[in-house]
Amino acid sequence: MTAPATSNWSPPPCWYEPEFTPKQFSDYINSHYTSAQSAWAQMASDYGANDYHKGDKGGWYQLVTPDISKADACAALDPWKWIAPDQPSTPDIPTVDPKTLAGLAFNRTILPKPDITLRPIAQNQLVNLDTEIAFDKALPKVWVTASLDNPAFGIHVAATTTAVPVRLTVDAGTQYADPQNCTYDLKASGGKYSVNTKDAGCNVTYDKASPNGGYPLKASVVWEVTWTPSADPDGPPSAPGLPNGQSSKQFQVTVREDQTVNR
């Protein structure tokens, strides 16, 4: 999903996910132990200090860094951590929680670009004539669920992000228009959202014929994004909030001068 450039939100660079029981981790480490001089020997010494927490409640978690370009932000964290049940997530030990999953779902959300009809058509815009906009297809709300299920650890975590289209902004793509941009609230009908700017108080109006190639009119939809700590897209929104999303599409419009106006 694309967030507006003014947003300071970013997903966490890394976190811990459950991987091994104490016995499984012990077997894993020792299966790689080849000599007392190997790196695995030091790991066996460090992690096996308490016999890998055998008999304790909890599990061994592995550090996960989805975006390798952000690995430096996690360089100080151990590759493995023993984590007890219900241990809260902290900056030093960031574990998977609904908020983290909400960030993953946000990143995986694909927002449809607006398909619009221009009146007059894009190839036949006229100077001093309103450019009316209507959606070809109403936009649906979009949602994505991210989850982590590990029955062995008793972990069942999910989060769903839901994006609802709320506004359309149209930019003329040139200074030779008055107004140069307009914003419209989308109307909901049957679970989908659309707009028709006929008779609206604001419509882009070009006041100069376009050069070769035309003007790049841009239509952008703002999506209001919320998340809920479950797999239900209709669940109650949770805090902290996520930034709005945005999807855009550009249309080349040819504007000419004409004394006769035909729509």
For helices 22-31 and 39-47, the axis angle rounded to 10 degrees is: 160
Q: Which two tokens stand for residue 1?
A: 């999903």
The size of the chain, in residues, is 263
Closest CA relative to residue 201, chosen from 190, 215, 185? 185
CB atoms within 10 A of CB 235: 16
State residue 106 phi and psi, 5-degree precision. -60, -45
Please report which residue ranges of the chain form alpha helices under DSSP H: 22-31, 39-47, 98-108
Closest CA relative to residue 111, chosen from 223, 233, 241? 223
Q: How far apart are CA 255 and CA 79, in angstroms?
A: 60
Q: Write the CA distances from 9 to 56, 100, 130, 202, integer angstroms.
A: 37, 12, 37, 32
| Residue-range domain boundaries for the chain | 15-95, 110-256
The pLDDT score that the predictor gives to residue 165 is 98
- Written as tens digits, the pLDDT of the chain (263 aa) is 665 544 445 668 899 999 999 999 999 998 988 777 788 888 899 999 899 999 999 999 999 998 899 899 999 999 999 999 888 888 888 888 898 899 889 989 999 999 999 999 999 999 999 999 999 999 999 999 999 988 878 788 999 999 999 999 999 999 999 999 999 999 999 999 999 999 999 999 999 999 998 999 999 999 999 999 999 999 999 998 899 999 999 999 999 997 655 55
For residues 80 and 63, the answer to whether their CB atoms sit within 8 Å is: yes
Q: pLDDT of 62-75, one tens digit each?
A: 999 988 998 999 99
Q: Which two tokens stand for residue 194?
A: 């659309």
Q: How far apart are CA 215 and CA 213, in angstroms?
A: 7
Q: pLDDT of 212-235, one tens digit each?
A: 989 999 999 999 999 999 999 999
CB atoms within 10 A of CB 178: 11
* Cα Rg, the chain, nearest whole Å: 27
The pLDDT score that the predictor gives to residue 9 is 57
The alpha carbon torsion through 92, 96, 98, 103 (nearest 10 deg) reads 80
pTM reported for the whole predicted model = 0.80
Cα-based angle 105, 109, 110 (whole degrees, multiple of 5): 170
Residues whose CB is less than 8 angstroms from the CB of residue 175 and which lie 6 or more positions away in sequence, other chains included: none
Q: Which two tokens stand for residue 36?
A: 């007392």
